[in-house]
Every structure is written in structure tokens, then in C-alpha cells.
Structure 1
Amino acid sequence: MTEEQKDSTLGRDDLPTLAITLLKGVVYRDGNERLWASLLELQARVRDYVAVLGLELAVDEAEGYAFVKSRSGHDTDVENGEPAKLPRLVARRPLSFPVSLLLALLRKKLAEWDAGGGDTRLVLTREEIVELMRVFLPASTNEARLVDQIDTHVNKIIELGFLRRMKTTGGPPAFEVRRILKAFVDAQWLLEFDARLAGYQAHLDSSTVSERQEDSNE
């Protein structure tokens, strides 16, 4: 059965399909308009459905995405009236320093792109992503190694769902910055971006000093 045929089978009461799809990842309007329409129609019921699992439904109709996240509060234990923590269904994923840095740079780039008032889709080539990262990474004379390292970080961000690899025909590798990144790196965070970059730079400087000390001791 094709995806279009699957879409046509979605009904008003297809809550399990919506819930399972959300548990597997983000639902995008541009990826499945039929499913998106069902989600908007059944939004209140989906919220109740996932709440049983201790989850919240987050929907951004303007940007066209929806996802579930763990509730910030906890249910009350009916026996003793105290908060009862549920096991976390949506796991928190610790991120490495370079991945965190690249996410911050992509979020800032997305904000600048939106301020320009152009196309809503931000697409960057691998070379452009490398240039974003280069100034914040230890100086390296091995260009191929640097690119390989950044490719590893990019692949991790693709896995997290914040970048999407574009299909290209002979051109350089390109990636779409998914707009859901705005939900995880918010405007308040961006206001503190310069201070955070200073912290990143200090981290980089200390790492470089440590590496040089290790090299001199060998």
C-alpha cells in the first residue's frame, strides 16, 4: 500500500494512528497533509490520549509541526496525595559540545533567515555548515578530517530531526533546517546567544591549551 493509500484510510476516529506516529517522531504538515488535517481535527482527543502516558502534545499550526514531550508536572498519587513520578517515555538525550554548538548556530541562522522575509525553508550546503562551525573548532591543518568531524555532527542532528538531507542531482550535499528547531531553542535562548558563544569560545580555548600541554608532555 502506498503512502497516499494509507492517508486515504485515515478516519475521524483514527487516534491510534496519530498517537503512534507522534510517539515515533515529529508530524509535519508538508510531509503528510492528510494526517496533519486529522491531527488538527482530533487535537483535543489526541491530547487526552497521550496524557495517559504522561505526555503533552505540542502543535505549532503556523510552522506546521507537532510532537509529544514529557509533562513538566507529575500526576498525584491517589493513596498518599503526593506527586508520583512516571517513568520517562520520551528520553532526554545528552548532546556533545560540538552538536550543541551547531544547533545554536543553526537556530541563529534560522532567525536571521526569517528576519529577511524570504522563503520559509532554509537550506544550507555542507560547505556553508562547515564555515559556520570552523571559527569555533580547534585549528586543524587536516581539512578532510575537519569536514569528516562536522559530517558526524550533522548526521547526529539529522537523527535528532533538526536537519533533513535534501535530494541533489550532482550538486554539493545540502540540508534543510527543520523549523521545529525553534521549539527547542527559543527566542529567550537566542537573546543570550552572544554570552553563550563566549562560553563556547572559552571552552574551546581551554581545550586547545589542554591539547597543547598533552602534546608537550609526550
Structure 2
Amino acid sequence: MEEEFLSTTPTAHPMVSPAADLSVLLIGLLKGVVYRDGDERQWAALLNLQARVRDYVAVLNLDLVLDEAEGYAFLKSRPEPADDDSSPRLPRLVARRPLSFAVSLLLALLRKKLAEFDAGGGDTRLVLSRDDIVELVRVFLPDGPNEAKLIDQIETTINKVAELGFLQKLKPAGGAAVGPATFEVRRILKAFVDAQWLAEFDTRLVTYQSQLAGVNNAKEGAGHE
């Protein structure tokens, strides 16, 4: 799996004059994802100026992805021309970065959890505790003698996914200085992990689980010899 957004880290915008709105929008989008709940005023400006934004970023071989319902916008590289297309191949402004299996696994599990959450209706924000996320992942990882090390590995993956912007760590409730770690699953994940990718990953996951079951069975057999 590859990640190809410029960044998914939310960008805050200062209050600016209307004449500077386009520049502020473009700079914000080039730095990362723009969220409606991050700055309502800038979101309104983006809706009004999106045609101009699209024209500008097209020069950079980028497309504006804007989801009004979910409240996020970001820039993504345009598809490369087909092999039989004579159009010139432009350099990619957004580099492709392969993701590890552990990160891909967590993204897929969070995407499925988000789909289940949406199907149930109710709140629009999916909030999971650190323990919830650990339990989502651990059943897919090989058993090992060191439980603490396994959890540390999962927490490293959680931090990477948060760094990519798909999880947002929330402050402890009630203004407490410390408390159980909780994360909001950012809805931009729906744009990154589509149904086709999820289906393909599910197929690979079935193969992986079969291999994992074989390894565990072999270990158990060796233990009874």
C-alpha cells in the first residue's frame, strides 16, 4: 500500500483579508489537509474559490479532492498517462511512499470499523481508546512470548497512523492532565482506503491468516513432541 497525499496533518489558518484568501487556501492545501472543523471561515472561502483552486493546482499536475459532506479537502497527484498515451509524463510533486504491512493492516481495520460505525447511525465521530485499537490489531499478529513487546509494536503503528493524519489523539476529558489515550478516526480515511483497495487487502489478509494459522499450529505441534 502506498500513501501519496502531500500530508494529512491538519493545517491551521490565520485570519486574513478576502484578497489573500486564495493564497492562504493554496498554501494550506500544499502543506496538508484542510478541515471544515479546523477553520469554518477558510472552509467557506474554499467552497467559493474551489474552481480557481482547481485551475491553479492543475498546473502542478494535482487535483483538488473536496468532500463537502465529510468536511475535508486535500491535493492528490493526477493519474499517470497510459503506456500508449503520447502525453508527456510530468514529475510527481507528491511522492509515493510505501507503507508497512502493520500500517496497512491498521488502516484497513480502522476503515472497516468506520464503515460499521456509519451503518449504525448516531454520532458522526468515531472515537476509540488505545486499548480498543490494540485489540483490533493483535488478533492478526503472530503470538509471541513477550506481550509487552507486541503491544509496543502496535503502539508504534498507532503513532505512525496518527502521524499520517488518519488518527487524531484527543485531550483527556474534563481538562485532566493525564488520562487514558483516546483517538478520533479521521474521516479522510474513507478517501484513502476505498472499497476496491479494502477488498484486495481482505484477500491478502485471508492468505496471511492462513499462513499465520499454519505457523501457530506448527509451534503447538513442536511443543507437544
TM-score bracket relative to the smaller structure = 0.7 to 0.9
Task: Confirm whether residue 33 of structure 1 aligns to residue 40 of structure 2.
Answer: yes
Deviations 1:109-135 (A, max 9, x none): 000000010211001111001100111
Residue aligning to 2:208: 200
Provide closer, same or farther for how the CA distance between residues 115 and 131 of structure 1 changes in structure 2, counting only shifts above 3 A: same
Deviations 1:46-93 (A, max 9, x none): 00011111100000000000000001145xxxxxx9311111111111
Relative to structure 2, which stretch is displaced further, 165-174 or 116-125? 165-174
Quick one: which of 83, 94, 100 aligns to 1:96?
100
Provide closer, same or farther for how the CA distance between residues 203 and 155 of structure 1 changes in structure 2, counting only shifts above 3 A: farther
Task: Confirm whether residue 57 of structure 1 aligns to residue 64 of structure 2.
Answer: yes
Provide closer, same or farther for how the CA distance between residues 166 and 149 of structure 1 changes in structure 2, counting only shifts above 3 A: same
| Residue 192 of structure 1: how far off its partner (Å) | 5.2
Provide closer, same or farther for how the CA distance between residues 200 and 26 of structure 1 changes in structure 2, counting only shifts above 3 A: farther
Asked if structure 1 preserves the Cα contact closer than 8 Å seen for 2:21 and 2:42, the reply is no
| Residue 35 of structure 1: how far off its partner (Å) | 1.0
Output the TM-score relative to the length of structure 2.
Answer: 0.81
| Residue 143 of structure 1: how far off its partner (Å) | 2.1
Relative to structure 2, which stretch is displaced further, 81-90 or 194-203? 194-203
Amino acid at match of 1:199: T
Unmatched segments (≥5 aa) in structure 2? 1-11, 220-225
Q: CA RMSD in A?
A: 2.3
Task: Confirm whether residue 182 of structure 1 aligns to residue 182 of structure 2.
Answer: no
Task: Confirm whether residue 20 of structure 1 aligns to residue 27 of structure 2.
Answer: yes
DSSP-derived class of the 2:97 partner = coil
Output the TM-score relative to the length of structure 1.
Answer: 0.84
> How many residues in Structure 1 have an aligned counterpart in Structure 2?
200
Task: Confirm whether residue 146 of structure 1 aligns to residue 150 of structure 2.
Answer: yes
Residue aligning to 1:123: 127
DSSP-derived class of the 1:30 partner = coil
| Higher RCO, 1 vs 2 (CA within 8 Å, ≥6 residues apart) | 2
Using the alignment, how far apart are the partners of 1:161 and 1:45 within structure 2? Answer: 26
Unmatched segments (≥5 aa) in structure 1? 75-80, 213-218
